[in-house]
């Protein structure tokens, strides 16, 4: 897995070097140079995000308690008790 990461980083670096070579050779920034620069983060992102995936997985299930939004008498309730600010007019 480490060789894949290094290969992805090297290919990203190669895209940047080729882009710079095009800019220096033509003495202007062309669409091809921009395309190489825009493609350079793709292999670098692949190199950074590939890991040995099974270490970080958790199988914990979290159950949230359900709270009733309405009170017993079918009113909304006091907004200040729910944590909302009440505007002063």
Classify residue 25: in a domain, yes or no.
yes
Residue closest to 32 by CA, chosen among 14, 19, 47: 19
For the chain, what's the residue count?
89
pLDDT in single tens digits along all 89 residues of the chain: 688 888 888 999 999 999 999 999 999 989 999 999 999 998 888 888 866 555 556 677 777 666 654 445 566 677 777 778 777 77
Q: Are residues 32 and 22 in contact, defined by beta-carbon separation less than 8 angstroms? A: yes
Distance CA 31, CA 38 (A): 10
Classify residue 27: in a domain, yes or no.
yes
Total domain count, the chain? 1
pTM over the 0.85 mark: no
Classify residue 55: in a domain, yes or no.
no
Range of 34's domain?
A: 2-50
């Amino acid at each position: 897995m480490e060789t894949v990461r290094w290969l992805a980083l090297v290919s990203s670096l190669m895209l940047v070097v080729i882009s710079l070579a095009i800019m220096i050779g033509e003495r202007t920034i062309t669409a091809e140079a921009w395309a190489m620069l825009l493609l350079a983060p793709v292999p670098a992102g692949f190199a950074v995000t590939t890991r040995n995936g099974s270490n970080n997985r958790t199988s914990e299930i979290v159950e949230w308690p359900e709270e009733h939004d309405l009170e017993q008498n079918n009113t909304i309730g006091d907004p200040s008790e729910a944590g909302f600010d009440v505007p002063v007019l």
